[in-house]
Structure 1
Amino acid sequence: MLDDLILIALLLVGYLYWFNGQLVKELALKAVRAHCLNVDVQMLDEYVALNGVRLKRDQAGKMRLQRTFLFEFSSTGNERYNGICTMLGRRVESIQMEPYRFEEF
């Protein structure tokens, strides 16, 4: 009986972790899309990939999960460049992009 309750509790915690991770991934995807649009580059594959998870304190000193997502973008349509979106909890901490070439008009 107790083993079943522990198993159910672990499954519930696992599901909540996964569900929250999916929500944060969607927020990261929206932030990256908006950033790419703002700097006039094309986000490739419309996808962000989870690259790492660690614990970090926010500005208030509260422990949060920091997730790092990778994405790819192109400035001219010929090359692929990498970018990193770092989320602290549900907040965008930073979006970094490799140096890229842009077309002159």
Structure 2
Amino acid sequence: MQELLLLTLIAFIFLFWLNQAAARDKVRQTARHVTLQKNLVFLDDSIMMRSIRVKTRLGKLAFFRTFSFEFSDTEAQRMHGMITCHGGIVTEIQYFHTDHIENVTLHS
């Protein structure tokens, strides 16, 4: 009985890891694409997870993830951005410019 419980736990951990990797790749690709559309530079081709929570989306439980990234404008200074992903869908990107915050809503 313990073996079955252990195998189930390992399967859940593996599925969570696959889900996390897919979400991270989608967030990175979306952040890169939207940043380039805004004539900004997506720095280091990297994102960093800031938080993960479980929230409802369309009546179902889903992971709500927040990532951060860095970008630059033509002045070659590093600025920060935040991107949210809810249920595998990128919903919002925030660009923290030196003088203002720019919000880009992708999906609600």
Structure 1 residues 4 and 77: CA distance shift in structure 2, 3 A: farther
| Structure 2 Cα separation of the partners of residues 61 and 67 of structure 1 | 17
The CA deviation at 1:77 is 5.1
Number of residue equivalences:
99
Considering Cα pairs closer than 8 Å and 6+ residues apart, tell me whether 1 or 2 has the greater RCO: 1
Local SS of the residue matching 2:77: coil
Q: Which amino acid aligns with 2:59?
A: G
Cα shift at 1:56: 1.6
Aligned runs of 1:24-103 on 2, under 5 Å?
24-58=23-57, 60-76=58-74, 78-100=76-98
TM (norm. structure 2) is 0.86
Give the superposition deviation at 1:63: 1.6
> Please, which runs of 5 or more residues in structure 1 have no aligned partner?
none
Q: 1:65 to 1:51 in 2, by over 3 A?
A: same
Structure with greater Cα Rg: 1
Instruction: Tell me how far apart the structure 1 counterparts of residues 19 and 5 of structure 2 sit (CA, whole Å).
Output: 21
1:53–1:68 contact (8 Å) kept in structure 2: yes
Displacement, 1:89?
Answer: 1.1
CA contact (8 A) 1:82 1:98 kept: yes
User: Could you say which residue in structure 2 is the equivalent of 1:19?
Assistant: 18
Q: Deviations over 1:11-59 (max 9, x none)?
A: 110010011100000000110011111111101110111110011222x
Distance 1:24 1:12 in 2: 18
TM-score for the superposition, normalised by structure 1: 0.88
Structure 2 SS opposite 1:45: helix
